[in-house]
Structures are given as C-alpha cells and as structure tokens.
C-alpha cells in the first residue's frame, strides 16, 4: 500500500520521489493543509478509499497514512 500511496503522491501532487519514505512526516514531503485535502480527494477518486483530510492530518507519517489506507480497504 505504501508504494501505491507513493505513486499517487508523485504522479498527482508532484512530490519528489526520494523524499517519500515511511518515516517521512507531511512536513518532510511538503504537504501543506491544502495538499492534504487534495490527497484525501485523490485517494477517494483513484482507490475508492475514504479518509478525511482531518484523519490524514493526524497521521504521524507517510507510513501511517498507508496503514490507514489498508484498514479502509483501498482497492488496488
């Protein structure tokens, strides 16, 4: 799931691939609050998984976001 998240961050939000590691915080990958709202929309549109922007903002790092996606049953 981490790889799917990484692919979307790179393709849709143009995040630098090298910066995306499980331990990276959203500050590390320069996702401001607006980009987190975009990510929430993208996850729903691309993978059919509903995670609110507030939930994504609460995630500690990229790895935790990927775990949330798994729990919500993201379609791969």
Partner 1 sequence: MDAHVVHRAAARAGTDVAVTGIGLVTPGGIGVAASWAAVRAGRSPAAADPLLAGGPVAFSCRVPGFDAGALLGERRALRLDRFTQFALVAAAEAVAGAGLDPLTWDGARVGVVLGCADGGPATVEGQHDRLRDHGPDQVSPLLLPMQLPNMMAGQTAIQFGARGPNLVVATACASGATAIGTARDLLALDRCDIVLAGGSEAMITPLVMAGFARMGALSRRADDPAAASRPFDADRDGFVAGEGAGVLVLERAADARARGARVHGRIIGHGASADAHHVTSPAPDGSGAEAAVRAALLDAGAGPGDVQHVNAHGTSTQLNDLAEAVMLHRVFGGGPLVTSTKGVTGHLLGAAGAVEAVLTVLAVQQGVVPPTANLETLDPRMEIKVADHETETRIDLAVSTSCGFGGQNAVLAIAAP
- Binding piece for partner 1, criterion CB under 8 A, among 20-28, 34-42, 54-62, 67-75: 34-42
CA distance 54 to 19: 22
User: Contact between 59 and partner 1 (CB under 8 A)?
Assistant: no
The distance of closest approach from Cβ of residue 14 to partner 1 in the complex, given in angstroms and rounded to an integer, is 4
- Binding piece for partner 1, criterion CB under 8 A, among 20-28, 36-44, 62-70: 36-44
Query: Concatenated DSSP letters for 19-66?
Result: G--TT--TTTTT--HHHHHHHHHHHHHHH-----HHHHHH-SSHHHHH
Residues forming the site for partner 1 (CB under 8 A): 13-16, 30, 34, 37-38, 41, 44-45
């Amino acid at each position: 799931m981490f790889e799917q998240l990484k692919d979307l961050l790179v393709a849709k939000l143009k995040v630098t691939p090298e910066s995306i590691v499980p331990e990276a915080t959203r500050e590390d990958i320069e996702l401001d609050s607006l980009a987190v709202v975009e990510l929430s929309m993208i996850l729903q549109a691309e993978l059919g998984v509903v995670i609110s922007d507030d939930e994504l903002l609460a995630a500690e790092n990229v790895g935790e976001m990927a775990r949330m996606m798994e729990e919500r049953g993201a379609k791969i």
